[in-house]
Amino acid sequence: MRWNWQRPDWPHFQFEKNRLRDAEAQFLKGSGVVVGAMQHLDKDANQQLVVQLMSQEMVESSAIEGEILDRASVQSSIARQLGFAADRRRSTPAEAGASELMADLYRHYAAPLTDQNLFDWHAMLMNGRRDLDVIGRYRTHTEAMQIISGPIHAPHIHFEAPPSQRVPAEMAQFIDWFNRTAPGGAEPLHAVERAAIVHLWFETIHPFEDGNGRIGRAIAEKALAQSLEAPTLTALAATINAHKKTYYLELHRASETNQVDEWMVWFSQVVLEAQSRTLQNIRFLIEKTRFLDRLRGKLNARQEKVLLRMLAEGPDGFQGGLSAQNYRSITGATSATTTRDLADLVALAALNRTGENRYARYFLCLG
């Protein structure tokens, strides 16, 4: 019996609940801080944050699986899905489908989980795919569902999921548990504990031909949102992607036993880090608004273009700082104009400069 689902105690995951007590308390406290910070955003900034975080989640979740989505296209598609003003940027079928899933999750986080809900998500996520036998339904193939690496003649099996004929019954048990443990359910659980179990359990069943990782992370987001009784803005996928190697290692370890203390502790720390990332994004958006308000009417078109480009990169601007060459590339300005523009931006306290001459680098002066 190599895998957890082959053991007689499946799916009764065992762990010491006291080890999650501090994480649960920190998560609830952090949730209050996030809600308080969001109250400082006006309607437009709030919508901007929602679109930004939702698009980041799907782009990062897809990146974990090796699929690269265009962030701007996903943002535009999500904004349209939610009825916000957006440009008419064209999206690929994959980008449109991923955006539809995130919008559905945001709108209907409080709804009970159902087979049809998961089928719809899978159809959205597999939008445009022609290489799968079954889309919008659980897998039905007779061959083993395995996660493997290495050459075809000598593959290394990282995990083997329950056979397809067991999937409907396994999912029925999983969905019943998910709904019973929701707030207001018969057996409500703490937020972090429930999300950690949800993700591990779903990934073990691996019910679809493809897309299990992305859907499994979406279900974990749904669990967190239900516990907070609000659409979640937790940067879970982005944080997991930052620790992708460890993520797969911890999933593999947990797939071999139903004694899952290490998985629960690791996942709880990921949730807390994700929440911290979300708060950082909210604070950055507040600082960005104040930053641009302070400089309104003081910038020429070139300077404004460069600052907006740096702000689009997030709190730290360009990695390693903005160089004069970066400035010329973005604006097409001459060297002399670039030198004057950058000096003005430093004088306006828009940028901080480090280094001299060709080693000079410029960083956003926020906060």
pTM of the predicted protein model: 0.86
Q: pLDDT digit string (tens) for 235-274?
A: 899 999 999 999 999 999 999 999 999 999 999 999 999 9
Please indicate if the annotation marks 216 as binding a ligand.
yes
Please indicate if the annotation marks 215 as binding a ligand.
yes
Please indicate if the annotation marks 248 as binding a ligand.
yes
Q: Residues 266, 269, 274, 277: is their CA dihedral positive or negative? A: negative
Please indicate if the annotation marks 136 as binding a ligand.
no
CA atoms of 156 and 247, how far apart (whole Å): 18
The full set of domains in the chain, from first to last, is 4-285 (1.10.3290.10), 299-364 (1.10.10.10)
Q: pLDDT digit string (tens) for 191-205?
A: 999 999 999 999 999
Please indicate if the annotation marks 210 as binding a ligand.
yes
Task: Tell me what percent of the residues of the chain surpass a pLDDT of 90.
Answer: 68
- Does 52 have pLDDT greater than 90? no
Please indicate if the annotation marks 214 as binding a ligand.
yes
End-to-end Cα, the chain, rounded Å: 56
> What is the reported pLDDT for 139?
96
Of the pLDDT bands very low, low, confident and very high (cuts 50, 70, 90), residue 292 is very high
Q: pLDDT digit string (tens) for 210-241?
A: 999 999 999 999 999 999 888 867 889 999 99
Look at 198-207, 277-286, 302-311 and tell me which has the smallest mean pLDDT. 277-286
Q: Is 206 a catalytic residue?
A: yes
> What is the reported pLDDT for 85?
65
Mean of all residue pLDDT scores within the chain: 91
Tell me phi and psi for residue 322, to 5 degrees: -85, 130
> What is the reported pLDDT for 316?
60
Q: pLDDT digit string (tens) for 154-170?
A: 778 889 999 999 999 99
CA atoms of 343 and 224, how far apart (whole Å): 47
Catalytic residue among 156, 190, 206, 252: 206
